Amino acid sequence: MKFLDQAKVYVKSGDGGSGCASFRREKFIEFGGPDGGDGGRGGDVIVECVDALNTLIDFRYQQHFRAQNGRPGMGRNMTGAGGQDIVLRVPVGTQIWDEDYETLLADMTEPGQRVVLAKGGDGGFGNTRYKTSTNQAPRKHTPGWPGTEMWIWLRLKLIADAGLVGLPNAGKSTFLAAVTEAKPKIADYPFTTLHPGLGVVRIDDDELVLADIPGLIEGAHEGAGLGDRFLGHVERCAAILHLVDGTGDNPIEAWRTVRAELEAYDEDLAAKPEILAINKIDAMPEEDVQALKELFVEETGLEPLAISGASGAGTRDVLRRIMELVRARRQADRGRVDDDDSEAEAGEATWTP
């Protein structure tokens, strides 16, 4: 299945049905009076979050979604049928933005979450509604209210506990394949990873989801290479694993390049906890690895770990460091949920009608 993480679609809720102007005309009933029914309500546009999807590719082949209009009212006080809702099913982690891409309408983060994006128009009134003691034969009836139409952006941001960043050919895909059951494309040329990939890491009787995104190069925030749009998939992560190719020409400058792109994309993303790891130590003499670690401490103030995705050396230590940060994030999230629940219960206890 092809990966697509952004789509622009048009949605329109159903129009309400028109009210009916009708009068009873039955044998032996001299004064029948009005009996026009109301129009039916238009259908809603609903967005539902489902767990079985991981791409927005379905919205490439269909970009227009319209809910059904309400049916008009009829005589004998019959109300028109309501229009059928239309449901857009999106993956977990999908954000819904207004057409200007500045207003966030909804953030779909839980399976089963449903949001009414556009409500259907109300049905019009039939002439029965306007019957009074002084106007016993009204001919007034109203049309239904129009539905809501809009263009929206769907943006998928994968739900992962930790993200892999680095320059192209830093060994991110090799690392992902070594520590998970994922099978990313691995080759000896840049930009072998064209789409984000996910893998489940099992370490010390616990699990975390690791996201691999395409490599960043200098100027990615200006569109160089594959750009920096894929960084959205690590915005929700608890930690970032920054891989640096230890066999490269200038590993420290490579680290600085990626850090600059993270800061240019989003300061909050750049402020996330970062674990720095020197990769490909299997192709380096031990003394060079130690010298590079000392140079990183001197130049950046960070103490990197030394790993090899190809041989597996040092990977468990890195995973345990990541797991510590993920557990801390989960505990903090649970604490916020408990605080919200406590505030809600306190509010219910003190409320008086």
Check whether 282 is labelled as a binding-site residue: yes
Check whether 56 is labelled as a binding-site residue: no
Check whether 342 is labelled as a binding-site residue: no
Check whether 131 is labelled as a binding-site residue: no
Element of type H or E holding 151: strand 149-156
Check whether 127 is labelled as a binding-site residue: no
Check whether 251 is labelled as a binding-site residue: no
Give the residue carrying structure tokens 């238009």. 42
Check whether 91 is labelled as a binding-site residue: no
Closest to 296 in 3D by CA, of 270, 319, 276, 322: 276
Collect all residues with Cβ–Cβ distance below 8 Å to 262 and sequence separation of at least 6. 165, 231, 240, 269, 270
**Angle between the N-to-C axes of helices 286-300 and 251-265, in degrees from 0 to 180, rounded to the nearest 10:** 40
Distance CA 215, CA 190 (A): 8
Check whether 214 is labelled as a binding-site residue: yes
Count CB atoms within 10 A of the CB of residue 162. Answer: 26
Distance CA 8, CA 39 (A): 32
**Angle between the N-to-C axes of helices 172-179 and 315-350, in degrees from 0 to 180, rounded to the nearest 10:** 80
Which residues are 162's β-sheet partners? 210, 239
Closest to 210 in 3D by CA, of 161, 244, 177, 165: 161
For residue 234, give the amino acid letter: V
Check whether 194 is labelled as a binding-site residue: yes
Give phi and psi for 292, each to the nearest 5.
Answer: -70, -40
Check whether 311 is labelled as a binding-site residue: no
Check whether 135 is labelled as a binding-site residue: no
Check whether 279 is labelled as a binding-site residue: yes
How far, in Å, are 69, 172, 293 from residue 216 at the CA level?
A: 48, 12, 22
Check whether 215 is labelled as a binding-site residue: yes
Check whether 213 is labelled as a binding-site residue: yes
Q: How far is CA 50 from the centre of its chain?
A: 11
Check whether 79 is labelled as a binding-site residue: no
Give the residue carrying structure tokens 């009608």. 353
**What SS3 state is found at 313?**
coil
Distance CA 2, CA 58 (A): 10
**What SS3 state is found at 340?**
helix
Check whether 173 is labelled as a binding-site residue: yes
Check whether 212 is labelled as a binding-site residue: yes
**Is there a contact between 107 and 90 (Cβ–Cβ < 8 Å)?**
no
Q: Which residues are annotated as a binding site for Mg(2+)?
A: 173, 193
Q: Which residues are annotated as a binding site for GTP?
A: 166-173, 191-195, 212-215, 279-282, 308-310
Q: Which residues are annotated as a binding site?
A: 166-173, 191-195, 212-215, 279-282, 308-310
